[in-house]
Amino acid sequence: MTKKRDSLPAEDRVGTNGRASVPRFGHGSRVPGWDEAVDLRKDPADVPDPATVPVPPQLRAEIEAHMAKYPDHRSAVIAGLAAAQRHHGWCSPEAIDQVACVMRLTPGYLVSIATFYDMLENQPVGRHSVYVCTNISCSLCGAEELLAAMEEATADDPDFNVRHFECLGACDIAPMASVDGVYVGPISLDEVPTLLEQVREGAPVLPAKQLTQRAVAEPLAVLPKGPTTYGGRMPEEALGPPAAIEQEPIGPAEGSKQSNEKAV
Amino acid sequence: MSENPTNPSSNGRTQPLLLRGIDEEGLHTLEVYRRRGGYEALTKALDMAPGEVLEQLQASGLRGRGGAGFAIGKKASFMPEGAMDKYMVCNADESEPGAFKDRELMQKNPHQLIEGLIIAAYTVGANRAFIYIRGEYQRQADVLDAALAEAQGAGYLGERILGSGFSLTLVVHRGAGAYICGEETALLDSLEGKRGNPRIKPPFPANQGLYQGPTLINNVETLATVPHVITMGGEKYAELGTESSPGTKVVSISGNVRRPGNYEVELGTPVREIIYGLAGGPPEGREVKFFFPGGSSAPVLTAEDLDRPYDFDSMAEAGSMLGSGSVIVVDDSVPVVDVALKVAKFYEHESCGKCSPCREGTRWTRTILQRVDDGTATPMDLDIMASVQEQILGNCLCVLGDSMAMPIGSMVQKFRAEFEAHIEAARARNPFGDEEPEPPLPVVQGAAA
């Protein structure tokens, strides 16, 4: 929201007195959508009546199982909303009502939770979520271009929910994305079409680049204290291959090896 | 360190503790973990009195690995004694930009964490434990859930653990994407089913935490270290690292380096050794411009600080902090304004909005930096930004705002000339800013101008 306001064209930003003017909306507010959230003519929604709110038995069982794990059942709100989101695709008013009904909370309370957490969707979204990390480490490695490429390639596909995300905790495979919960990286721009095709087909995305395939870079790397052995320049032996990724040799390397053997 | 009998070294290198054989096939299963001596520390701890375990933790000097560096022994000693509902919470909401060590530890060796958690809970007499894991770590949460079920089946969790009088239930609680929930009191609110807003302190969680009960909260890496402390003995562990920062630390290195990843180092290892020796330094032909020594919240250090030892006190002395031990390296091809803007955008997005200085301050800082980048700023804006940051520091319930103000303040301080040059260059390029004007927001007919 704020982003749009700041990037208004220059002529709109300068008022008649030559100073920057703040854009206003039809209703006089500077905040877009300030009056869209509530209808003040209505009474606040109460805890829904179980007799009038049908809840799918599966969803009810899932939420109740989460509630049973905690001393205070309210602790299960995130789990409950996440379950409803999986069921409905997003935290729709209907989904909120159902969770409210099972957990005996007001819909308003649940909306306050659903709007706080990034992974709970408050608008209908595509069923495949692609979170592209655009935080520092990833953007140093080209995450902005990756996000733009992903957005462009899925612009016409309502099945995709491509969005930028703050640090996903996988800076070692930057630039990376979490595709339906699976961490993949580093993703190069020319792999984007393959990745999206694999998501469409329901196949594992870039199997060789999934986080689970990655070994710890150097597990025996505990160094003793003491003087620095590496000066401004690194010795040659320290220039190893970038990031050890345990994987089968793929594509051309294998093929060329075989063809060589055949030739012999 | 090479003479340390419990920690034999090869090639002059100390053996790692947390990452030892981390890539072994099936380490996430109970069978393999037990074959490697897993849960022996728990057996040993349960044979001791809780007070004795606490003494070991205190002797180890183990400092919290989540960011603040508060000694676990001290924190645990603040917990009241006596029979009451006490809670143990593991903070696995690793969301500091640049940090990914907990992810590795949970995904590859979940039992190590669970064992440490049980020992810590035994020490303070907590009967309910929670692991609050960030929602994005779906795979890691699944691994933890599976490990939990295994541990439960083997009698390491539940009623009367291993025949002792100690009982513990453990729940893996998944978050849903909020950086602020890594702050301990916000985490507790989130765990109670509220929005993740930080609480006023005191009371500290050790007195009044989860569900109003005394609560011990520790980071994943801290708890994963606990079994090793018990096995080695606190004093032996304290021999590792430096005097004030004992032990080893898993360092996550990312950004402009050739071999990003997790490396376990002894605290006190020179930074140059970590960045150049382990991570391979920046790509060919580039130099380290600056680096964040402890995640994006830490004030940046420049190439001049490369020879400092990497430990809590040395980093504090350099005007920064070790934080969660996440080194982000930025090389000389990257404009400092880009990084500052990225940091500001992140904290603006993640500010929970409870305290005005942070909510407004992060927004204004981002706005000013945007202006710097757009070419609508003047050099005076840098001073305005500094005054905004001054009003954030120390004026909020938690340190999220400070975590933005400090690194950006340090960037402006160390690269002021570059900021000023950026302002001038951007102004010359485009006096009104926007390179590609977006269409104006819709204005309804008859709107007030």
DSSP B352-402: -SSSHHHHHHHHHHHHHHHHHHHT---THHHHHHHHHHHHHTT-SSSSHHH
Domain with CATH 3.40.50.11540 in chain B: 30-239
The pLDDT value recorded for residue A43 is: 75
Residue A199: which CATH number? 3.40.30.10
- Flag if A224 and B211 touch (Cβ within 8 Å): no
Q: Are B325 and B94 in contact (CB under 8 A)?
A: no
Report the candidate in B87, B98, B211, B90 with the shortest Cα–Cα distance to residue B144.
B90
Distance CA A214, CA A150 (A): 23
Q: Which domain holds residue A56?
A: 39-123
Query: For B401-448, what is each residue's pLDDT tens digit?
Result: 999 999 999 999 999 999 999 999 998 887 555 556 566 666 666 555
Query: For A173-194, what is each residue's pLDDT tens digit?
Result: 989 999 999 999 899 999 999 9
Window A:180-239, CB contacts with B under 8 Å: 181-183, 211-212, 215-225, 227-230, 234, 238-239
Probe site for chain B from A110, A213, A222 (most B CB atoms < 10 A) = A222
Say if residue A133 is in the same domain as residue A207: yes
The pLDDT value recorded for residue A38 is: 61
In a domain, A226, yes or no: no
> Which CATH architecture fits B336-429?
Up-down Bundle (1.20)
List CB contacts of B291: < 8 A, sequence separation 6 or more: B255, B271, B275, B300, B301, B302, B327, B328, B329, B330
The pLDDT value recorded for residue A228 is: 40
Candidates A2, A216, A242; nearest CB to B258:
A242
Distance from CA of B310 to the nearest CA of A (A): 10
Candidates B21, B268, B270; nearest CB to A219:
B21
Distance from CA of B261 to the nearest CA of A (A): 5
The pLDDT value recorded for residue A249 is: 34
Q: How confident is the model at residue B68 (pLDDT cuts 50, 70, 90)?
A: confident
In a domain, A24, yes or no: no
Q: Which of A67, A98, A123 is the last residue of a domain?
A: A123
In a domain, A191, yes or no: yes
- Flag if A119 and B334 touch (Cβ within 8 Å): no
The pLDDT value recorded for residue A257 is: 37
Q: Are B331 and B286 in contact (CB under 8 A)?
A: yes
Say if residue A90 is in the same domain as residue A156: no
The pLDDT value recorded for residue A252 is: 37
Say if residue A81 is in the same domain as residue A99: yes
* ipTM of the prediction: 0.89
Structure-token pair, residue A224: 């003793």
Candidates B179, B277, B433; nearest CB to A166:
B179
- Flag if B108 and A216 touch (Cβ within 8 Å): yes
What is the rounded end-to-end Cα distance, in angstroms, of chain A? 65
Taking the model in full, what pTM does it have? 0.85
Q: With beta carbons under 8 A apart, name residues in chain B contacting A216.
A: 19, 22-23, 104, 108, 261-262
Report the candidate in B280, B293, B324, B287 with the shortest Cα–Cα distance to residue B103.
B324
pLDDT mean over B266-276: 92
The pLDDT value recorded for residue A91 is: 94
Give the DSSP H/E element, type plus range, for residue B290.
strand B288-292
Does A42 contact chain B (CB < 8 Å)? Answer: no
C-alpha separations of B89 from B84, B173, B211 in Å: 16, 10, 12
Distance CA A245, CA A125 (A): 34
Report the candidate in B110, B128, B216, B122 with the shortest Cα–Cα distance to residue B162.
B122
In a domain, A262, yes or no: no
CATH superfamily of B30-239: NADH-ubiquinone oxidoreductase 51kDa subunit (3.40.50.11540)
pLDDT mean over B306-330: 94
The pLDDT value recorded for residue A39 is: 65
Q: Which ranges of A68-205 does DSSP label H, i.e. alpha helix?
A: 77-88, 93-103, 107-114, 136-140, 143-153, 192-201
Domain with CATH 3.10.20.600 in chain B: 248-331
SS3 B254: strand
Query: For B49-60, what is each residue's pLDDT tens digit?
Result: 999 999 999 999
Which residue numbers in chain A have pLDDT < 50? 1-17, 224-264
- B248-331 CATH, one of 3.30.1330.20, 3.10.20.600, 3.30.420.10, 2.60.40.60: 3.10.20.600
Q: How do B248-255 and B261-266 pair as beta strands?
A: antiparallel
**Cis, peptide link before residue A158, omega less than 30° from 0:** no
Q: How confident is the model at residue B67 (pLDDT cuts 50, 70, 90)?
A: confident
Between residues B313 and A251, the one the model is more confident about: B313
Residue B139 confidence (pLDDT) above 60: yes
Distance CA B346, CA B336 (A): 16
Window A:152-191, CB contacts with B under 8 Å: 165-174, 178, 181-183
Structural domain tally of chain A? 2
Helix B110-124 to helix B40-47 angle (10° resolution) is 10
Give the DSSP H/E element, type plus range, for residue A179.
strand A177-179
**Tokens 């025996």 appear where?**
A220
Between residues A9 and B337, the one the model is more confident about: B337
**Tokens 């605290």 appear where?**
B267
